[in-house]
Structure 1
Amino acid sequence: MTVDIKVIRAGQMYRYFFRETVVGDGRRPARTPLRAAQEQAGVPAGRWMGRGLAALGLAPGEEVTEAQLRNLFGERGRHPYADWIEAERLAQGASPKEAFKAGALGRRVTVTGVDFVFRPQPTIYLLWALGDEETRLVIEAAHEYAIERVLEWIEDEVAVIRYGKAASTG
């Protein structure tokens, strides 16, 4: 497996994901719902992965919705369910400012994102294309397993979050 890594500048995540990732390499026609555009492009729906999902009320494998992407990337760090959280808080009598704050994930800081694209070796593509249904299913399962293991390794060994004065020094 090869992994393509792209660093995305802060503030560009939403546009990057909607133009280059969630609908393949094509563009989504105006006013076309995300899932419909993905189906037209032959791109599977995104799904949530990682150990921190439970803290956000998300489940591994759950489909990523357009509203969740907008909140998380378009609004720079809002909770994927920020709309629901804010509505609940407003219904409970919170002020609009308090409700908005409740939908934020930690501090609102500008961060750069990293996109990982996992690709099987070209010979695996060929084997998948020429193989029977059982072969394709085994290859797909092995690919998914490899992605999960790499993401676990990234979470354990690579992903580090730093902030404050120490973060600006090497």
Structure 2
Amino acid sequence: MKPRGSVFHRMPRGVLALIALVCLLAVSGALVAQHAFDMLPCPWCIFQRVLYLAIAVVALIGWAIAARTASLLSTLGVLALALGGIASAVFQHQVAAKDASCAFTVVDRFLSATGLETALPFLFQVTATCMEAASARLLGLPFEVWSGALFALIALTALLLLRDRKLR
């Protein structure tokens, strides 16, 4: 009798779809917080939205393509983007949130260069400085702490997917 594997072992593509859904829900939650509750985003907040959307796209590609190699590459991409998300959330919390103006940072230049802010302003427009955005809280914690925790959960999930792939 074959031993039963973890959920990650039995349905890695399903886990990728779940990761994509969680990322889309995170961005949706940020939009509700912004547009319904006036929690205005800074450049680092917007950059994290970009990362969540990129993770969703990469995870959906891995889910849609049944090939094992595509799933593996997708999982590695999700892991890399989630680690970048952790780094951006930590930087936002430790450095940018203490700066009255976070203009002309690498993220601010990225947003300007890509044209995302003008193409989809309801989603990507920066409307606050990092210090202003740091004052927004959810259950007593700054948004970037929640975001960093979610990126960490996504990274851990990707690591578990990769570990279970090695067991097969």
Structure with max Cα Rg? 1
**Larger strand proportion of the pair:** 1
**Larger helix proportion of the pair:** 2
State the TM-score, normalizing by the size of structure 2.
0.28
